[in-house]
A = this chain, B = another copy of it.
Amino acid sequence: MEPSLEIERKFLVTTLPDLAAASRSSLRQGYLTVPEDSVEVRLRQTDGTFILCVKSGEGIVRGEREIEISEAQFQLLWPQTEGRRVEKTRWTGGLDQGLTFELDIFGGALAPLMMVEVEFRSEAEAHQFVAPDWFGRDVSTDRRFGNKSLALSGASFIRELSGG
């Protein structure tokens, strides 16, 4: 697999924009394993697609292996991810200059977190980007807002963040 370089910026959101022209999808993922385990087994749902993903980080056989499972199978295994989940509604829409935003509204233990990501074609474009009014604090370099970090330790952090 070629390493793919993503140039993106990520912002908190406190006020929702007009989403009439945006498209909606449901995403959730949860970990069957804990970070200390020898292997990572993750469940992921994107709308009607259900994936079980096994990722190993050491030994002779390494890599990421995914199988598509049925919704019923997903539902059977999902309880096992309790406490290690990210559930969100993603709105994808357009910005000026042909840019696309992905606005994630988190549910479950991570509510009321909202975050928006924009991907750029170059570093220059990323630096020049003027964020719309509804974009909040830039958290691009804050690792606590990564997917895995949110799944595993996001809940208490989000409560702090929202002053709870």
Interface stretch (choices A33-41, A93-101, A108-116, A131-139): A33-41
Q: Contact check: which of B32, B38, B65 meets A54 at CB < 8 Å? A: B32
User: In the complex, what residue of chain B is closest to A60 when comparing beta carbons?
Assistant: B82
For residue A161, CB closer than 8 A to chain B, the reply is no
Q: In whole angstroms, how far apart are the Cα atoms of A68 and B37 in the complex? A: 24
Q: In whole angstroms, how far apart are the Cα atoms of A9 and B30 in the complex? A: 42
| CB within 8 Å of B: which A9-51 residues | 32-34, 36-39, 41
* A contact residues, total (Cβ < 8 Å): 25
Pair B37/A61 contact, Cβ less than 8 Å: no
Q: Which residues of B contact A70 (CB under 8 A)?
A: 67
Give chain A's interface secondary structure class: mixed
Pair A32/B41 contact, Cβ less than 8 Å: yes
Interface stretch (choices A72-80, A118-126, A142-150, A151-159): A72-80
Pair A77/B61 contact, Cβ less than 8 Å: no
Least distance between A61 CB and chain B CB atoms (Å):
5
Q: In whole angstroms, how far apart are the Cα atoms of A38 and B83 in the complex? A: 14
22 contacts between A and B (CB under 8 A): A32-B39, A32-B41, A33-B33, A33-B38, A34-B38, A34-B39, A36-B38, A37-B38, A37-B39, A39-B41, A39-B80, A54-B77, A54-B80, A56-B80, A59-B82, A61-B79, A61-B82, A65-B77, A67-B69, A67-B73, A67-B76, A69-B69
